[in-house]
Amino acid sequence: MNFVFFSITEHPWGREMLSQLIDSGFIPSLIIEENSDGGNTEREKFEFRIGSNPLAPTMHSQVEKHNIPFVEVPIHNDEHCMVHIEKANPDLIVFGGTRIIRGKILEFGGNKGGVLNSHPGLLPECRGSASPAWSVHEGIKIGSSCHFCSTDIDAGDLVGKREIEVKRGDDYHDLCYKTSVVASNLMVEAVKAFSEGDLDKLRQPQGDSPNPVFRYDPDVEQKAIRMLENHEYEHYVD
């Protein structure tokens, strides 16, 4: 199948997701990587969240090993990406660790098989940034989701959603790592379903969220870390 993979330079999510896709036999027709100051800041946030948990092989090593066509752009926007997308003419677009992307990129994907994104939180309950931290802070269950992208943040139709069990002793880095692995699992399942013509069978509307779209807040993140250290999370399984 023909799909294009988007990621920020060496983003931990991109590395994990790309590795799982390749291991499952799904090799992108093209990777479009954003190398920017803003992207570097986002990558560093996720590197902190994952902590000492193991990272998948670098994206560049995976590109070289599997001879995947690759382009680097200063930002994932129409101006820099559409020429490459139109040339590749993919059936599907996959986001593997990006900032917010809108415009003709979403329109092109919508006219094809769609644009898929995985998210480190349960949708629609926890939309926005730093979802594991906000989940702990707001008493929302931890999990990951895979969804079609729309112009609204994390609001497109779901194609997968999975809770993650949280045990006493799990720290913030453990939970963030687990969300990245499960999010990649869900993306592999969605891409496999698409390749078999069954993706629409997984599709379901999210509905309204009981919460606002959360924004990154370092104070909330630090409070979530302390809450886990003090076993103050609301949804432990033990």
Q: Is 134 helix (H, G, I), strand (E, B) or coil?
A: helix
pLDDT of 98: 97
pLDDT (tens digit, 9 = 90+) per residue, 76-95? 999 999 999 999 999 999 99
Q: What b/e readout covers 141-178, taking b as 16+ CB neighbours within 10 angstroms?
A: bbbbbbbbbbeebbbbbbbbbeebebeeebebbbbbbb
Give the start-to-end residue ranges of the domains of the chain: 3-229
Confidence band (pLDDT; 50, 70, 90) for 74? very high
Decide if pLDDT at 72 tops 90.
yes
Say which residues have a Cβ less than 8 Å from residue 203's Cβ, sequence separation at least 6.
148, 157, 158, 159
Domain 3-229 carries which CATH code?
3.40.50.12230
Confidence band (pLDDT; 50, 70, 90) for 64? very high
Q: Is 206 helix (H, G, I), strand (E, B) or coil?
A: coil
pLDDT (tens digit, 9 = 90+) per residue, 36-62? 999 999 999 999 999 999 999 999 999
Is the pTM higher than 0.95? The answer reads yes
Mean per-residue pLDDT for 204-229?
Answer: 97
pLDDT of 62: 98
Q: Which two tokens stand for residue 50?
A: 């994952």
Q: Over the chain, what is the mean pLDDT?
A: 97
Mean per-residue pLDDT for 126-142?
Answer: 98
pLDDT (tens digit, 9 = 90+) per residue, 153-175? 999 999 999 999 999 999 999 99
Decide if pLDDT at 1 tops 90.
no
DSSP helix, strand, coil percent of the chain (3-state; round to 5): 40, 15, 40
